[in-house]
Structure 1
Amino acid sequence: MLTVSECSARDICRLLEVGRERISVVGVPISHTYAPRLNAEAALRAEGIELPSGPKVMSIGDCARYKNLELLVRAMATPALSGAHLVRVGARLSSGLVRLAETLGVAGRVVELGPVSREAVVCLYSACDVVAQPSSYEGFGMPVAEAMACGTPVVCSDRGALPEVAGGATMVIPLDPEAPGKNPEVARAFGHALERAIDDELFTAELREKGLRRAVAFRPETLAPLLEAAYALAMGRAGTPAFESAAG
């Protein structure tokens, strides 16, 4: 059996009562298309995407409840982020999240781009200052890996496989297990982490370098031999798993 993270492996063991020795872990490959882009905003304008000036926090994906976007909307209300825009890529915020943004006074700083091309996604990673991933669960966390590959700082939660994928190269904020999206202290902590990623140039440069190094673990050439070994093991051509998880 093959899965993409140790977190997923643990869940499989727990839910399906599968022995851990039967599971191989190989992370999700990140194409070399995902890399830092020069003149990213000019490339986006060529695709008809005009970003606002000033700091930009990127959020990408759907709006399912586990994405915990309520926390991100609350974090954007942090006074230190009053000049920052939230750039949403993918599914648009739900009506409930829009009402929350209006109540908190941040609705005017939310930029909804909807679905865009992969090239635009790569340019957006480079054009934005930080990527936010506040999910209450992720079996892997593609935006974290993609953002690191593009040299963009990441602030993520401590849930699911996110810390595992981050590998110490992002800022990880612990969520409240009872109220992952509503705790005001957690929202402030997430907001201050976003602020630091925007304003602290030395720290940001450190995060960029750490992220680029960490992203190597998810490049196709790194994962190919691990995947080959996993298939060999599954087909009985290997005695024991002689490889390590690339997601851990």
Structure 2
Amino acid sequence: MNHSDISAVPAPHSAPRPARRRPALRAAVAAVIAGATLTGLAGCQSSPTSSSFTQVSPTPSASATSAAPEPSASEPSASKPPAPPGKRADHRPLGEQDGRVPDGVTVFDEHIAAVANLDPALLTALQRAASDARLTFTVNSGWRSADYQEELLRKAVAQYGSEEEAARWVATAQNSPHVSGEAIDLGPSAAQTWLSRHGAAYGLCQIYRNEPWHYELRPQAVTAGCPAMYADPTEDPRMR
């Protein structure tokens, strides 16, 4: 290269420095970070189940719990529907626990509810009489639950066609001596015949003329004899 070529080449010079923008950039970054922080906090507040934010519900104090208002007495309470036939009030099937009697039960089978729940004095008299008679006193029906008694009454109404006619054979649960354990229906006919002749000596009396199987305890009968029988339960003052 010769010296004349050197003058044709422009002299090098330094490039101009850009304007200093760092303060503006830092402000922008700070704004972005602040916005992200606010968004994250908002998300935590709207989502109680977030792992970064747990919202704890305050436990009510005992005083606040005890101060809860009681239901007003004037508010109607939900009444339970009547149990269907063959069901307890809790809709369980009626069974031995309600007084149903399996075949072949005698007055000595005290593991059966219909026998075990009889009035103790009545049961003692029946067992003494059965032992002395040397006969089997079969229990056709003894103690009954109120649900069982109501079922029998419904069946009697359906069978006889009216409540009036059914009342000659089946009492209400409120009035029946079976529900209170003070009555028993016995068989077979040999036991009924024996009791009709000798039952008074044990205080055991037939109460209704139309029910030769129905016996109750009348302690005074031991000395005074059994009282006159009612024609049927509708004449019994206890049934009213």
Q: TM-score range by the shorter chain?
A: under 0.3
TM-score w.r.t. length of structure 1: 0.24
The structure with the larger Rg is 2
Query: Structure 1 or 2: larger strand share?
Result: 1
TM-score w.r.t. length of structure 2: 0.25
